[in-house]
A and B are shown apart, each in its own frame.
Chain A
Amino acid sequence: MTSLLEMRGIEKRFGGVQALKGVDFDLRAGEAHVLLGENGAGKSTLMNILSGSIGPDAGDIRLFGKPVRFSSPAEAHAAGIAMIPQELDLVPGLDITANLFLGNEERTAWGTLAHRRMRRAASDLLRKAGVSLDAGRPVSSLRMGERQLVAIAKALSADARILVMDEPTAALSATECEHLFGTVRELCARGVGVIYISHRLEEVPRVADRVTVMRDGCVAGEAAADAPQAELVRLLVGRSFEDLFPPRAGRIGRELLRLEHARFDPAIERAGWQAARDVSLTVHEGEIVGLAGLMGVGRTELLSALYGFEVEGRWSGTVLVDGRPARLGSIAAARRAGIAYVTDDRRGTGLVLNHTVGENVVLSTLRRITPWALVSPGKERRYVTEALSRFDVRPKLPEALVINLSGGNQQKVVFAKELVSEPHLLLLDEPTRGVDVGAKAEIYGQLRSLTAKGLGVLVASSELPELIGLCDRIVVMSRGRTVAEFAAGASEEEIRHASTIGTEAA
């Protein structure tokens, strides 16, 4: 295979921080090359240098064997390097055609827009990118995965030879991911080189031919895409996968939650919302129970219905909290019952991003430190500082803006906010999404030490290795029903099997 791109000895310094310390990277034609690394490892800096957004301090870039140096993104784009940013640059209100031609609109002899000509060309572009979508659909009607595909078509419209994708699956469902991977493979088959930035280990073998792992501004190693995950983790963080998970405590207390053939009927049936139809499970003190299952089987919906968050409706069947029948379905009822909820969307529902760490931490328990409805700054500060130390949020500054924190530390702020109220039962959805491996390990450790003090946890995750490493028991869901339960030590294959069997049966 011919070499499309070679980067040698790239260095970049920002102020006092050496962001890149002599990085080598290369890309062959027809190859999908994953660039793997935690937040702050230097992936984005390297790609920003490639796409001309910033200049390197040292090092050479060769494109098709010829040395190049881009001083602007436009130059890099003209040279055949297309970049798809994480936040897609599509206009939701316009249709696909208008988006593909945005800024390069074609006109008729009268000076009006050549709608028909552009529509035809757009359909061609979509077909070439392997996308089967009607070019006349408004982008706002597309799902995230489809938008991602349109962004790819748009990037390829300029005859790009190199396509850089920055964490494209961050907002996609499992099926959408598969579709995207298929498109990437088709592009490669046509000779396009794809650089795929990611920090999700599990997607490496599904999309890549080769993987380069970055750590602390250096290349930590290169591996074939089918290298075992454990090896990639070692390269990423410098320690092994099993070490991420703390040992199980094993002291199980009284029963906190029992659902027996419980069913939730939402007041308004929403499309794509999988209500709980027949759920049986228990959570005890000191126990972490996992909710496994394919995407869209109702894990998230079960948690939000238990907490009564943004869904109205009625539970039927047996719902026992602390052994007593409980009427769940509203946030007030859930909180009275000692239930806390951390969603899978910390930016959308977990945090007030423009506010400080301190203001966020006290959000759910302000009532407690404001006895006369008055805020006392000194009391609040002591309360927040203590919570920040307990949950090891870094930096430990109550007045820092939450938006400036790393994903892992933002997640810890959400934990602090929900757990200072000392709930008995924590509902947890995708607790480590978008969090780097190091912070994952810390979050697992914190969950364990909390359960050692009696907290019960019901955690939903789409990452099976995480559930297996973390949980005492795993309940498998399928189409709103619980279909199987496994004790700790079950294998990934067994659980995967159980989740697909349930799908076929239903």
Chain B
Amino acid sequence: MTAEPTNPPVQKAAAATRPRLRPLDYVVRFQSLLGLILVIVGGVAFSPRRHGHILFLQPDNIANIVRSISETGILALGMTFVIIAAGIDLSVGAVLGLSSVLTAALLINAGWGLWTTLPLVLVCATLFGLAQGAISTRLHVQAFIVTLAGLQAARGLALIASGNEFININYGSGPGNAPPAFAVLGERLFYDTFPVATLVFVVLAVMATFVLNHTRYGRYVFAVGGNERAARLSGIPVEWIKISVYGLTGLCSGVAGIVHAGQFAFGSPTDGTGYELNAIAAVVIGGTDLFGGAGTMIGTIAGAVMLGALANVLQLNDVSAAMQLLATGAIIVAAAALQTYVGRRDGRSR
């Protein structure tokens, strides 16, 4: 731009770049929160009533909702990092299964204590994720393929670790029993209202939000997903960022697997099947761009809660499982379409 600021093209350019949000922009930016509010309002409106009480709002029911989302929610936190870095991780459900089996096997079959078992499970899950990231980055194989293979591998390892069996976790002392402290994961705090599993999710969600928004690492993840080559040119350790986000999904899967084992008091090599899709759904509904470079953690959290609340509303109204799946599918499509519509309108290339 050459001329004085009174020049019309200059004004036009300035006007075009000033961030001015139209109502639809707010809808998209907070779509998962708005969706969550809609689901809650709908839940209250359509909830069955008994003795004048709204079942949807009963403390027991709410506790059920937040408990049911804690595992996929934890997976979705890690998934948000991976997707913002323009990757994908299909192995999280399988690694959750592997971790739960490993936890049960070490506690029951090997007779280890909590302080050795839990860190070891977390380290294994993290290493599994890092390995996938390293293979994908170093060998230049698409993450979709590598983590699809990882999904199979994790299931295979889970079968080996469990000896192809369901491992029940019994509490007590002596060999063949787990320390009773582990049972806390299936319990509720604060006069039996707040599930411990949910507390784990909340703590991790706060940490993930902080890392994504307020640390250099988070900023690098955005940059790598937005334009890998520009990030590399700027001296950002692109390879490490791309590998490390899979370490984060691995770690989250490990935590979720331990929570799973604790909640249900068993380890099953086939558990967690399909969880990766719920986690991805929560991230997408939360407004994170599957092409990378854009997204929010709060959106993912709201997306996860929304999916849980929706399933609950439908269950309370005795809607069939088939209908629940269809409704979830429709919401994912609607959320993605809304975003691309706004993207196209703003002339962002896709």
Binding site for B on A (CB under 8 A): 14, 16-18, 38-41, 216-217, 237, 307, 309-310, 331-332, 335, 341, 343, 348-355, 359, 362-364, 366-367, 370, 373-375, 394-395, 397, 399-401, 403-406, 408-409, 417-418, 436-439, 441-442
What is the predominant secondary structure among interface residues of chain B facing chain A? helix
Interface size of B by CB at 8 A reads: 41
Shortest Cβ distance from residue A379 to the other chain B in the assembled complex, whole angstroms: 12
Shortest Cβ distance from residue A43 to the other chain B in the assembled complex, whole angstroms: 12
Bound-state CA distance A438–B289 (Å) is 36
Question: B234 contacts the other chain (Cβ, under 8 Å)?
Answer: yes
Contact: B229 with A395, CB < 8 Å? no
Bound-state CA distance A14–B168 (Å) is 71
Chain B residue at minimum C-beta to C-beta distance from A357: B17
Which residues of A lie under 8 Å from residue B18 when comparing CB positions?
Answer: 395, 397, 400
Bound-state CA distance A18–B7 (Å) is 11
Which residues of B lie under 8 Å from residue A374 when comparing CB positions?
Answer: 214-216
Shortest Cβ distance from residue A342 to the other chain B in the assembled complex, whole angstroms: 9
Bound-state CA distance A441–B1 (Å) is 10
Of all A-B residue pairs in the complex, the 3 with the closest CB atoms, nearest first, are A438-B2, A40-B9, A352-B226
Contact: A352 with B293, CB < 8 Å? yes
Question: B19 contacts the other chain (Cβ, under 8 Å)?
Answer: yes
Contact: A394 with B227, CB < 8 Å? no
Question: B203 contacts the other chain (Cβ, under 8 Å)?
Answer: no
Bound-state CA distance A437–B1 (Å) is 9
Question: B325 contacts the other chain (Cβ, under 8 Å)?
Answer: no
B6-53 interface with A by 8 A CB criterion? 7-14, 16-19
Bound-state CA distance A418–B294 (Å) is 23
Which residues of A lie under 8 Å from residue B229 when comparing CB positions?
Answer: 310, 348-349
Contact: A352 with B227, CB < 8 Å? yes
Shortest Cβ distance from residue B97 to the other chain A in the assembled complex, whole angstroms: 33
Which residues of A lie under 8 Å from residue B13 when comparing CB positions?
Answer: 40, 394-395, 405-406, 409
Which residues of A lie under 8 Å from residue B349 when comparing CB positions?
Answer: 353, 403
Of A14, A355, A442, the most chain B CB neighbours within 10 A belong to: A355
- What are 22 A-B contacts with C-beta separation under 8 Å? A216-B8, A217-B8, A307-B233, A331-B232, A348-B229, A349-B233, A353-B349, A354-B293, A355-B293, A362-B219, A363-B223, A366-B219, A366-B220, A373-B216, A375-B216, A394-B13, A397-B17, A401-B17, A403-B347, A404-B16, A406-B13, A438-B1
Which residues of B lie under 8 Å from residue A332 when comparing CB positions?
Answer: 235
- Known interface pairs A216-B9, A394-B1, A400-B18; A375-B219 also in contact (CB < 8 Å): yes
B210-254 interface with A by 8 A CB criterion? 213-220, 222-223, 226-227, 229-236
A/B pair count, beta carbons within 8 Å: 131
Which residues of A lie under 8 Å from residue B9 when comparing CB positions?
Answer: 17, 39-41, 216
Bound-state CA distance A130–B3 (Å) is 43
Chain A residue at minimum C-beta to C-beta distance from B5: A394
- Known interface pairs A352-B230, A403-B348; A18-B235 also in contact (CB < 8 Å): no
Bound-state CA distance A305–B348 (Å) is 32
| New A-B contacts (7) at CB < 8 Å, excluding given A352-B226, A394-B13, A442-B2 | A237-B2, A351-B230, A364-B235, A366-B220, A370-B215, A375-B218, A395-B18
Which residues of A lie under 8 Å from residue B234 when comparing CB positions?
Answer: 363-364, 417-418
Chain B residue at minimum C-beta to C-beta distance from A350: B230
Shortest Cβ distance from residue B144 to the other chain A in the assembled complex, whole angstroms: 19
Which residues of A lie under 8 Å from residue B17 when comparing CB positions?
Answer: 395, 397, 400-401, 404-405
Shortest Cβ distance from residue A125 to the other chain B in the assembled complex, whole angstroms: 30
Which residues of B lie under 8 Å from residue A355 when comparing CB positions?
Answer: 222-223, 226, 293
